[in-house]
Structure 1
């Protein structure tokens, strides 16, 4: 979840979202003296490789899966653990190489498990794996929690032949701990860094997944989102992220925040790779009832929507009110709009954001209630030493120096103070936020006959500040998140040498159509730039 999305909504709405970038993200100019952190970092053989290319090279025998895993492990050692020390990986799978070796044997025998056979993948550290890796949501209170069974999506990844080589760091408790948090920081994993400029934020909560993909530490990764936690780190780390419709991808075995808004989703360097990974993840899970709604709506192969002409004739809505007065960001958006038109899209000015932002406090209220209920249920069945949210809070208080060296846990505490899900206050907030957001979006889609709504995903990354917390400006994460609707972000340029993403979101189970739009834009724009590991602006 993106920090302070809900707590600042009233402020943003009253200001008309006039502030696009805040604090250090506003007035820092490009410095001609910017330098890479470590000139000794060697070129990487698998740099910018796609899943499709790797599959071909595995099939031809150029690489074995064991070789791929070893090369990514060496890359992780070189720039994640040493060198620039991106700190995106919280734990490596000690069985990664042996799993890859077994998959190589299967391939030689003609036993291809699925579309990810032998492909090295990373997953976020709030997703259960029944192996030697822990599942902790980055919290010291959860250290030692080794799941008894795989999360449903991990089962699907293994069935598809993926090699899960490790888990990624995240904003602790998926950034539902404090209003003053630093994205990508956890008490277990420390601070993850943006690979473009190392003293800048990787966003979150899927910080490690976004950074690892961008820095070529894996073929692709899985993140999770409640509000912004996939699309924000995808945007600011220059990669593609898909936040699916709630119900397309199972949540069972994932440490929860919200049964209404939570989902897992793919993060990759290309739309094609994200589509491949989504194809492996999407499935009905009997243990997650909401996935039953996807029956007959999910696609077996989302790569069939990869069409360079997908924008032609499509009606794309863009908020007509200016989302700030930052010249560089406006130029990036203007350039994106011009390209959309050039590719045949019809741009429609719409007015909807103020209405969605008005539900911000209700959304936060919903999440607090559902976090307490969901986390208590998860912990009660887990192998963690803490069995309730209250015990997590108590652990943090007892171990304050290590667990809370920079910011507190007021969001954990306010959530724990909530009543059950039959509380009229919860039901009222749910009606306002979830149903209200859907009503607004459904109305604007119908009125303007839109195929998608589009806009800048996030402003560029702000500076890392573990003491005072993040300082983000404009974002376009909440409309799709609060309604449970699908959302894809694609690289669309840079501001201050930091990536900026372009969002497309639509109505339920439109993932295929959004993938088509994102792919057409990606292929026409080619805005993905490799990170250069600069130390800072200064």
Structure 2
């Protein structure tokens, strides 16, 4: 099976060109705190400030993202914000200077767009931050940019391809470039609702997924969280027929509006699979502790090899 650091260049239409383009990414000395995923430690001992950390991530996006189409837009003010945080005196906030990417569904009151990946919303710049964006800024995070997504969060059609949007193109799986970035989209029948029908359906969803769903299971079995596979191995990208659905666990938490955290759990057929920790309302601290403990105990994540497409599964 052929392996390559960068074997093809994605074109705007989503196809893969002949093997050429940027060289395989190699971590440079100054990138090491980022590449080895220890920016907090490097920042704490003075080896890395907010501006340098932000610049390292922006540099990596510039070099790797033309292959993956994972970032739909970079915040033009990210470095300026990092400098401002770096010059700040006094007690540091919990996420001081930490760069974060937000999905292109999260509204931000800055020079970035918020479009759900759709050309119909191109140019939309909200007047106020969404709650999650505002809370991240208050905690000291640097909003680095917006990530690509399944357009309208997969609401385009029943055969929508995961990770494709008109604005961002097709996101590719870094472990194998002809694969979807995930296989977690779950098929939901499309219905036309008026406001009254929508509110009734929403109330039913909340009742079934909360009091009679997640909360009931946690209470009956005296559990802190539910643990389940995130999805099957990612399917091959098929822009005609859409995703080959391999199952997923996101629906209960999504319907309830409850938190869920997915972490690497290993590999199947050389493709990454995940494990999801799901809980009740406001259980994020518990879920993060559990997910972190699992990650530290298993250490299953491997750096992506950017494998070329091949024949077979």
State the TM bucket, normalised to the shorter chain: 0.7 to 0.9
Contact 1:54 1:119 in 2 (8 A): no
Match 2:236 to one of 441, 456, 463: 463
* Residue number in structure 2 paired with 1:419: 194
Superposition pairs of residues 238-387 of structure 1, within 5 angstroms:
none
- Classify the secondary structure of the residue corresponding to 2:135: helix
TM-score, structure 1 normalization: 0.50
Separation in structure 1 between the aligned mates of residue 105 and residue 214 of structure 2, nearest angstrom: 30
* Residue number in structure 2 paired with 1:42: 26
Separation in structure 2 between the aligned mates of residue 199 and residue 96 of structure 1, nearest angstrom: 31
Pick 1 or 2: higher relative contact order, CA cutoff 8 A, min separation 6. 1
Deviation track 1:143-196 (CA, whole Å, cap 9, x = no partner) reads 111122222322222222222121111111111121111111111111111111
> How far does residue 434 in structure 1 lie from its aligned partner after superposition?
2.5
- Greater Rg over alpha carbons, structure: 1
Separation in structure 2 between the aligned mates of residue 435 and residue 185 of structure 1, nearest angstrom: 32
Contact 2:43 2:49 in 1 (8 A): no
Match 1:436 to one of 208, 220, 234: 208
Contact 2:2 2:308 in 1 (8 A): no
Bigger helix fraction:
1
Superposition pairs of residues 129-144 of structure 1, within 5 angstroms:
129-144=108-123
Deviation track 1:101-147 (CA, whole Å, cap 9, x = no partner) reads 222222xxx24551222222211112222221111111101111112
Contact 1:197 1:537 in 2 (8 A): no
Separation in structure 2 between the aligned mates of residue 91 and residue 513 of structure 1, nearest angstrom: 32
* Residue number in structure 2 paired with 1:56: 44
Change beyond 3 A, Cα 1:483–1:156: closer
Separation in structure 2 between the aligned mates of residue 447 and residue 130 of structure 1, nearest angstrom: 43
Change beyond 3 A, Cα 1:133–1:155: same
Which blocks of at least 5 consecutive residues in structure 1 are unaligned?
1-31, 205-227, 233-359, 365-410
Change beyond 3 A, Cα 1:484–1:92: closer
- Classify the secondary structure of the residue corresponding to 2:87: helix
> How far does residue 491 in structure 1 lie from its aligned partner after superposition?
1.3
Structure 2 residue 292 is the aligned partner of structure 1 residue 519: yes
Change beyond 3 A, Cα 1:512–1:68: closer
Contact 1:137 1:174 in 2 (8 A): yes
* Residue number in structure 2 paired with 1:162: 141
- Classify the secondary structure of the residue corresponding to 1:98: helix
- Classify the secondary structure of the residue corresponding to 1:464: coil
* Residue number in structure 1 paired with 2:248: 475
* Residue number in structure 2 paired with 1:390: none
TM-score, structure 2 normalization: 0.83
Contact 2:93 2:140 in 1 (8 A): yes
> How far does residue 63 in structure 1 lie from its aligned partner after superposition?
2.5
CA RMSD between the two structures: 2.5
